[in-house]
Structure 1
Amino acid sequence: MTGATRHTRLLIIGSGPAGYTAGIYAARAALDPVLVQGLQPGGQLTITTDVENWPGDVTVLGPALMERMEAQARHIGVDVVTDMIASVDLSQHPFVAVGESGAPYRADTLVIATGAQARWLGLDSEQRYRGSGVSACATCDGFFFRGRTVAVVGGGNSAVEEALFLTNFATKVYLIHRRAALRADRTNQARLFANPRIEMIWASEVTEVVGDAGGRVVGAIDIRHLPSGAINRVPVDGLFVAIGHHPATELFRGQIALDDEGYAVTAPDSTATSVPGVFAAGDVRDKIFRQAVTSAAMGCMAALEAERWLAERGLAEAGRNAA
């Protein structure tokens, strides 16, 4: 489906906490923002179960939280579009984007809120127990494993930091790494090896996630020792996969500055990218915290910075959003 070019003062690509919050703040600034939801409306929280660290909610289901954000955005005036951006051209201004529907968009400013996806092990059983003991975020889900035994997979700083964080709750943490040495920096390694709650499992990989007696939640994992091929079943209550994330920036490669891992590079204390008028918010630029609340905060920043950028150029006054 194609149609007339839609011109907006602010186009938001992505519909997680960063995207919806950017939309809410932009609508309050009378920018008539257009938000294109993308492949996974609501982002990673739509595949999360209980969320207990969102301010104002003792507990809330991830999909329900994102439904509320979308409803608030629509209520306040964000034009939420069910489409996926297939191409962008940031070499001209206004910027041009084209949806997979064929719909063209022109934007005076752009907020990139396309997020990032955790890298998984690729096991069918891992997918089966995601949200039921399998997680990619210790900060999000560690609290649920108080007094339990858990395992972390990975060997970099993220994996070591996840293992250390989990010792605040779990009584036993296994760290499973494919190699015989960690990639994490020496400071993190020293903290890890000094922690009596953490046990290393070297040169090994997880081959299967096994359910408990009822088959509803994780009860154990099968671990293959790579040099010998021997498989050992280890009882655990949770498995945390910490082998990295994929920031969704392929669409912008060669157009904005990206770091070595593909995350959007922004100015200090800012969401401004290397292209004037283009801002990046949420997990697409944050590889450290990756929390819903920090993504939402960056969405706020991006909208306010976009409004300021438009005002400085005399583009923030007149509504020019046309269907």
Structure 2
Amino acid sequence: MLPSRRPETGREPWPEQPSSGPPAPRAGGDDGGPERGGTRRVRRDGEPGRRPAGDPDDGHDQDVEETPPVEVRRSLALAVAGFAVLLGLGLVLAAQTSGPGHRLPFTAVILGVQALSVLAWTMASRPPALMTVAGVGVATAIVADTVAVRSDPARLMPLVQVLLVGLAAAVVGQFVRRVDRAQVIESLRGTMLIVAGSVAFPTMIVLTRIPMGTQVIMVCLVAAGVALAVARITDAFAAWPRLAPQVPRGAAGVVGGAMIGTMVSAVLGSYLVTPFTPTRAAIMGLVAAVVAVLADLAVGYAEAGRVMAGEPSPRWGIGHMQGPLTGFALAAPAAYVLCKLVL
């Protein structure tokens, strides 16, 4: 090998001769600003949370979380509370007129409430073959009332059989038209509520034929009516804390209504004859009140779900009568079960 030698005198070294160490990282471009090459852009886009200030995606999650809650309409809540009081008072007073060989007035009242329930739920859920389902609901109501009056002995099983037959008839009626078949499964819940509401109210007719059944109706329905009314009145003035932004109901009304309904039933139990006691009446009232207010609350959630899905809302009166009607419809079979278990 030839020995290394120094460059000749008078000749300048190469201007871009590489140094012996690794190249220094480039801090900026020719003008001194930050480099905007492809590598820098890829690394910047890949880092979370470093989006440009004008990015349209900024604040998207915050907009979703800050959706304003549905406004609580005070007049509407008070109107629903008044309807619950009138409905409960009418059912309790009509039950007191029922007796052996004299059940027609109470049956007529129950039939009217059943027709109102079928109308409310049909207009709210709008199942396929709407007129067919409504007709089956009314027919089921008439058959259930007849069975409740004439069955011997008075028991609940014949009404369960009527419920199953009515539900099967409603579903078969929806399958007749081809255009309705694809929506039958989706609307099965609404169809079941329509038919079940028709069969639940005649439970009170069966109760009037059982010893102490009329007193059980009074205790349970008074507790349910008071609970529904107190819950709605509380929501009118203090719907807090909100259970959901889309539902204009508060937890204070639900809990307070159940508590006051239980207290009223215990007071009633102290005035009734044996085997009623304040403790037994309080247990019955607690169950009936909780069932009623939770059913009313569930109707509110169902209505909010339909609105969010873009379905048309029913008319004012029909739409807001569902809650009290459903609450009393579920409180009736609960009263029958309590009559068998507690007394």
Which has the greater radius of gyration?
Answer: 2
Compare the two structures and name the one with the higher helix fraction: 2
Question: TM-score scaled to structure 2, two decimals?
Answer: 0.25
TM-score normalised by structure 1 residue count? 0.26
